[in-house]
Structure 1
Amino acid sequence: MLVIFGLSHKERPLGLIALGCPACGHPGPLSLVHRRTRFTLFFVPVLPLRSRLETRCPNCGTARAIARDEARRLGADVRS
């Protein structure tokens, strides 16, 4: 019997937030992304494993996890 399993990553852009990049020092806004990781069985998402918010620098591509409260404080529209 053959069992096919793996991980699936889905990203949903949420907009821009006014932060500077801590890695390269780019002063412009960073994009905010909601990233979900799920366990898949036969290419069907079965079990959610991780859900987090990330900021991404458009200049260097550095991603950094951000807390939901901090994203709300910076003006992002984050649903619970």
Structure 2
Amino acid sequence: MLLLFGLKTVLRPLRGRTATCQSCGLVVHHHLEERASKFTLFFIPVFTMSRSYRITCSNCGQVSAISARKKKALAR
């Protein structure tokens, strides 16, 4: 019997927001991204194992990890 399983990382862009960058200090658009690790069985995603969020400054490229709570606050 052959059983194929593994992990797959899925990147999903989310709606960004204009804010002040902590690194360069300019008010610019920030890109928001969701990164989810999914358990796969026979190349089919079965369930999500972990989820994280990153925000990137469009001016200087500073990348920061943010919590799910902060992500919800940015979505408002």
Per the normalisation by structure 1, the TM-score is 0.64
Residue 75 (structure 2) aligns with: 76
- The alpha-carbon deviation at position 54 of structure 1 amounts to 1.4
Structure 2: stretches of 5+ with no match in the other structure: none
| Superposition CA RMSD, Å | 2.6
Counterpart Cα distance in 1 of 2:72 and 2:57: 19
Counterpart Cα distance in 2 of 1:44 and 1:61: 33
Q: How many equivalent residue pairs?
A: 74
Counterpart Cα distance in 2 of 1:19 and 1:66: 15
Q: Answer yes or no: is the 8 Å Cα contact 1:11–1:34 preserved in 2.
A: yes
The sequence identity of aligned pairs, in percent, is 34
Structure 1: stretches of 5+ with no match in the other structure: none
Residue 38 (structure 1) aligns with: 38
**Does the residue aligned with 2:71 lie in a helix, a strand or coil?**
helix
CA 26–11 in structure 1, closer or farther in 2 if over 3 Å, else same:
farther
**Does the residue aligned with 1:31 lie in a helix, a strand or coil?**
strand
Q: What amino acid sits opposite 1:12 in the alignment?
A: R
